[in-house]
């Protein structure tokens, strides 16, 4: 039986998803849609993907029982250590998988868009690994703000193209990438989250599903049961949460909590809490929930963490939200900062600011005794040091 949380043949999760793309891209997108599942499920792909995840990325990532954090919140809190992956976050699980799919389809040129540069670096990394040409579109403003990641991408051999229109940030970089893709339909568009036209949301979810696949046997080893009571993950586009939820979505006994960035406050006008503020619309070629004004113009989101600073959410998450399968919560900039300092002090782990949003809901939940909770520790905080230092002084 097909799962309620798998897309139908047109790429719809409930009412969300699909592929709203210009005519010129149809052959390219169809080629991918017709082949991605077969490729991913093939033995050749699985062998190469798993070998790279093991020897290049460093998987399986540990599932760590955070004793002092557990004591403080009165639950058994495990951290899924995606921060220990090569390049410092979960994003590489997806880029490794997509580069292998691109190669199987005979593509030699890769394009990507990036906001803070994390996905750009993860893409440039796998292009260097495979010797493929890489072009990354990035808002002009972000190029200035994220100089170290721009340097990394260049060192890895990628070409970084500035997007100079609009607000000169992520959504403009995405528009540029799509424009380039239309002109060069044979290139492979390596999207960084569970967003974009079908089959990207489902493809990226399948590639990130390795997170919950490992969680199952790791929990069994440590607790005697494959299932936790609760899984918590932060949501920008939704890929790390999709990976952490994937093998548990059908099992209603596992509570899923998705945490969005509330910026300066959900209703402050400076926020990225899409599920609470958004309405149905189309963004990046897919029908989903997004933040827009009365005229349907996409609203500029805000969060202290660049990775959550996205005006939409992937169609799978829109569906998880609408069906109430996942509970959506949010955390403000200040709550996330406090959570990051706390984890650093009591566990010796500096999390990414994105990840800190997932940690920030701990004080808001009343846990039952012996509740088993897994928090997906999506990335490490080295990249956010400047913000951490500034706020320590403040």
Ligand X SMILES: *Cc1c(COP(=O)(O)O)cnc(C)c1O
Catalytic site residue from 113, 176, 342, 354: 113
Local structure of residue 367 (DSSP, 8 states): P
> Per rule CB under 6 A, is residue 235 in the interface with ligand X?
yes
**What three-state secondary structure class fits 110?**
strand
Cis peptide before 219 (omega within 30 of 0): no
Catalytic site residue from 91, 107, 171, 287: 91
**Is 275 labeled as catalytic in the residue annotation?**
no
Cβ-based nearer residue to ligand X, 230 or 239 = 239
Give the C-alpha separation, 242 to 282, whole Å: 20
Distances from the Cα of 354 to the Cα of 144, 178, 372, angstroms: 20, 26, 22
Beta strands per DSSP E along 81-130: 109-114
User: Which stretch in 57-65, 238-246, 282-290, 341-349 sits in contact with ligand X by CB under 6 A?
Assistant: 238-246
Give the C-alpha separation, 27 to 24, whole Å: 7
Strands 230-234 and 255-263: parallel
Give the C-alpha separation, 12 to 283, whole Å: 14
> Per rule CB under 6 A, is residue 89 in the interface with ligand X?
yes
| Residue with the CB atom nearest ligand X in the bound state | 379
Count of other CB atoms within 10 angstroms of residue 41: 10
Query: Binders of ligand X among 108-147, rule CB under 6 A?
Result: 118
Residues that contact ligand X, how many (by CB under 6 A): 18
Give the C-alpha separation, 238 to 232, whole Å: 12
Nearest approach in angstroms of CB 268 to ligand X is: 21
Query: Binders of ligand X among 161-200, rule CB under 6 A?
Result: 193
Nearest approach in angstroms of CB 59 to ligand X is: 16
Residue spans of alpha helices (H) in 224-332 = 239-245, 274-277, 315-322
> Per rule CB under 6 A, is residue 354 in the interface with ligand X?
yes
> Per rule CB under 6 A, is residue 352 in the interface with ligand X?
yes
User: Which stretch in 33-41, 158-166, 228-236, 290-298 sits in contact with ligand X by CB under 6 A?
Assistant: 228-236
> Per rule CB under 6 A, is residue 332 in the interface with ligand X?
no
**Is 113 labeled as catalytic in the residue annotation?**
yes
Count of other CB atoms within 10 angstroms of residue 162: 17
Give the burial class of 2: count Cβ atoms within 10 A of its Cβ; 0-12 exposed, 13-18 middle, 19 or more buried: exposed
Helix/strand/coil percentages in the chain, nearest 5: 45, 20, 35
User: Which stretch in 138-146, 237-245, 335-343, 365-373 sits in contact with ligand X by CB under 6 A?
Assistant: 237-245
> Per rule CB under 6 A, is residue 236 in the interface with ligand X?
yes
User: Which stretch in 21-29, 57-65, 234-242, 246-254 sits in contact with ligand X by CB under 6 A?
Assistant: 234-242
**What three-state secondary structure class fits 12?**
strand
Give the C-alpha separation, 342 to 325, whole Å: 29
Query: Binders of ligand X among 291-310, rule CB under 6 A?
Result: 307-308
Count of other CB atoms within 10 angstroms of residue 44: 10
Among 11, 196, 238, 315, binds ligand X (CB under 6 A): 238
**Is 330 labeled as catalytic in the residue annotation?**
no
CB 304 within 8 A of CB 336: yes
Nearest approach in angstroms of CB 112 to ligand X is: 13
> Per rule CB under 6 A, is residue 202 in the interface with ligand X?
no
Nearest approach in angstroms of CB 125 to ligand X is: 13
Cβ-based nearer residue to ligand X, 91 or 152 = 91
Nearest approach in angstroms of CB 143 to ligand X is: 17
Query: Binders of ligand X among 364-393, rule CB under 6 A?
Result: 378-379
> Per rule CB under 6 A, is residue 237 in the interface with ligand X?
yes
Nearest approach in angstroms of CB 308 to ligand X is: 6
For tokens 């002084």, name the residue.
393
Cβ-based nearer residue to ligand X, 208 or 371 = 208
Cβ-based nearer residue to ligand X, 76 or 79 = 79
Q: Report the DSSP beta bridge partners of residue 376.
A: 80
CB 114 within 8 A of CB 278: no
Active-site positions read: 91, 113, 378
The footprint of ligand X (CB under 6 A) covers 89, 91, 118, 193, 234-240, 307-308, 352, 354-355, 378-379
């Amino acid at each position: 039986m097909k799962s309620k949380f798998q897309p139908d043949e047109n790429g719809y999760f409930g009412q969300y998803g699909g592929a709203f793309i210009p005519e010129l891209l149809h052959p390219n997108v169809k080629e991918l849609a017709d082949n991605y599942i077969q490729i991913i499920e093939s033995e050749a792909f699985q062998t190469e993907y798993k070998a790279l995840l093991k020897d290049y990325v460093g998987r399986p990532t540990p599932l760590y029982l955070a004793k002092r954090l557990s004591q403080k919140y009165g639950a058994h809190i495990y951290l899924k250590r995606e921060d220990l992956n090569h390049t410092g976050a979960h994003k590489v699980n997806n880029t490794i998988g997509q580069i292998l799919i691109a190669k199987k389809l005979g593509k030699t040129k890769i394009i990507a868009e990036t906001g803070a540069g994390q996905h750009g670096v993860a893409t440039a990394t796998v292009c260097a690994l495979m010797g493929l040409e890489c072009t990354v579109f990035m808002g002009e403003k972000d190029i200035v703000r994220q100089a170290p990641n721009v340097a990394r991408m260049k060192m890895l051999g990628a070409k970084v193209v500035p997007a100079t229109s609009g607000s000169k940030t992520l959504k403009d970089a995405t528009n540029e990438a799509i424009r380039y893709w239309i002109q060069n339909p044979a290139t492979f568009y390596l999207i960084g989250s569970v967003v974009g036209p079908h089959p990207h949301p489902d493809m990226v979810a399948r590639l990130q599903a390795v997170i919950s696949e490992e969680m199952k046997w790791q929990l069994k080893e440590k607790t005697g049961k494959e299932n936790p009571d609760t899984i918590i993950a932060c949501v920008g586009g939704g890929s790390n949460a999709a990976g952490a939820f994937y093998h548990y979505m059908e099992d209603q006994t596992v509570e899923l909590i998705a945490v969005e960035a509330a910026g300066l406050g959900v209703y402050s006008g400076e926020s990225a809490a899409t599920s609470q503020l958004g309405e149905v619309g189309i963004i990046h070629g897919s029908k989903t929930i997004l933040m827009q004004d009365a005229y349907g113009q996409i609203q500029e989101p805000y969060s202290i963490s660049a990775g959550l600073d996205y005006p939409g959410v992937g169609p799978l998450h829109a569906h998880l939200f609408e069906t109430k399968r996942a509970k959506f919560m949010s955390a403000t900039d200040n709550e996330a900062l406090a959570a990051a300092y706390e984890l650093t002090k009591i566990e010796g782990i500096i999390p990414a600011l994105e990840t800190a949003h997932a940690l920030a809901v701990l004080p808001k939940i009343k846990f039952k005794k012996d509740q088993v909770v897994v928090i997906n520790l999506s990335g490490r905080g080295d990249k956010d040091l400047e913000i951490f230092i500034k706020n320590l002084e403040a």
